[in-house]
Amino acid sequence: METKVERLEHNIVKLNIEIDAQTAEKEYNKACKRLSQRINIPGFRKGKAPRAILEKNIGAENIKRDALETMLPPIFSEAISKNKLITITEPYLESYEFEPGKQVKVVARLELKPEVKFEQYKDMEIEVEEFKTPQDAMDKEIDDLTKKFTTFEKVEGRASTDKDVVVMDFEGSVDGELIQGGSAKNYMLDLENSNFIPGFAEQLVGKNAGDEFVIDVTFPEVYHDEKLQGKPAQFKIKINEIRQKVKPELNDELAQKVGNFKTVDELKADIQKYLDSSEKIENDKRSTAKLFETIISKMDVDVQDTMIEREKQALVADFRQKLAQTGVTWEQVVKNDGVEKVDSELREEALNRIKNSLMISEIAKLENIQITPQDLEEKLGELATMYQTDKSAIFKEISKNPVMIQSLSQQALSQKVTKFLLDNNKIKFIAGANK
């Protein structure tokens, strides 16, 4: 038995395997015995049909494939180990010559993990546009907070304004047919923050309680219900009440309602702490992104198209799952944005993800950065906090799922490598736009 390893372009390895006739014949006969135990052949008990009868009933090619499936895995494993190949796919059979009494020749291919070479990944000075908390951030936070405690008081004797909330009955139709789910009684609609069809809320301004009327609107071209996309519709409206928003005064009483605060000053101090933390998180995020971008721009790696395609398909599957929760289909997105644009953006994102992963893996190897039981313990703690349970319950759950364990390990490794890079490069913040 002989195996030759041939390295091709783009991280592809070809395995040329020769199996001696005696070994091949032995394995072929074993395959015959296995298969004869699985099928019923008239006139023969299971496992007792002669080889010629078996070949006639199930085909010699099927027997050969069964024999190869048994012979090849240990041969592949030995070749990979002996040649120290770091693979990212299982070997796949390209061709074979398998005739009884003759030497068997097999050609298989497999993909290697791309080799990564760095120009530089540490001892660099990286300029990063610094995020600064806007001066009006405190006012906006307080405004958002008071909105949460806003009450809606019924008003009489005046028409609705674009700042009001109306309580209404409505019934929608398209081409004279009622829209499924397009009607409601005593529905409260905030005219200032409406998520209804464009033009709907605007036509309710200037109306009085008791008014009954019909409005015309047009559904967007991109809409979760394809039957309604771009369709003109009519809605019968009856205004039952008009309510105005009454925002509470910022005082100690409100602070106590918000949380464990006694005074407005305590509340503001907590908000400031949140703003400072958010600023740091954003600058850490910018620093990491710029650092990774810089290192990758100085990184030499040949990523094969097949690897990009697999990652792209994983992105599509993830994207489809997220879209399903919004009511929009993948087909609608492709139709709206165009096949070429969607494919180009997905390929670019897939390539970036692959390069990031390869960079982290290679730096971890070069700097001997490894995952410890304590690292996984910390990740379990984070999950336990997120799901408000104890670590033992989380561990019990993920221990059933090897993919989840691998994902947690990868997250922990990424965090350790990121910290190493931030510690071993100088980040210089420069003035920039707050995005």
Chain-centroid distance, C-alpha 388: 23
pLDDT at residue 103, as a whole number: 94
> Which pLDDT score, from 0 to 100, does residue 434 have?
66
Cα 257 to Cα 261: distance, rounded to the nearest angstrom: 8
pTM of the model: 0.74
Q: Show the tokens assigned to 101.
A: 């009494």
pLDDT for 167: 97
**239 φψ region: left (φ > 0), alpha (ψ -120 to 50), beta (else):** beta
Amino acid at 197: I
Average pLDDT over residues 34-61: 82
> What pLDDT score does 265 carry?
96
Domains and CATH numbers, the chain: 2-113 (3.30.70.1050), 151-246 (3.10.50.40), 257-431 (1.10.3120.10)
Q: How many CB atoms lie within 10 A of CB 378?
A: 15
DSSP 364-406: HHHTT----HHHHHHHHHHHHHHTTS-HHHHHHHHTT-HHHHH
pLDDT at 399 exceeding the cut of 80: no
Which amino acid makes up residue 362?
A: E
pLDDT at 100 over 90: no
Buried b (16+ CB within 10 A) or exposed e, 271-307: beeebeeebeebbeebbbeebbebbbeebebebbeeb
Spatial contact of 160 and 243, defined as CB atoms under 8 Å apart: no
Find the mean pLDDT for residues 364-372: 95
What is the mean predicted confidence (pLDDT) over 77-85?
92
Q: Percentage of the chain surpassing pLDDT 70?
A: 99
The 10s digit of each residue's pLDDT in 239-251 is: 999 999 999 999 9
User: CA nearest 349: which of 395, 403, 312?
Assistant: 312
Per-residue pLDDT tens for 243-275? 999 999 999 999 999 999 999 999 999 999 999
Does residue 384 carry a pLDDT above 90?
Answer: no
Beta bridge partners of 428: 127
CB 130 within 8 A of CB 174: no
Q: What is the mean pLDDT of residues 420-434?
A: 90
Mean pLDDT confidence for 224-234: 90
pLDDT band at 86 (very low <50, low <70, confident <90, very high): very high
**Nearest to residue 182, comparing CAs of 167, 195, 199, 170?**
170
The answer to whether residue 433 scores a pLDDT higher than 70 is: no
**Of 207, 230, 203, nearest to 216 (Cα)?**
203
Token match 């041939």: residue? 6
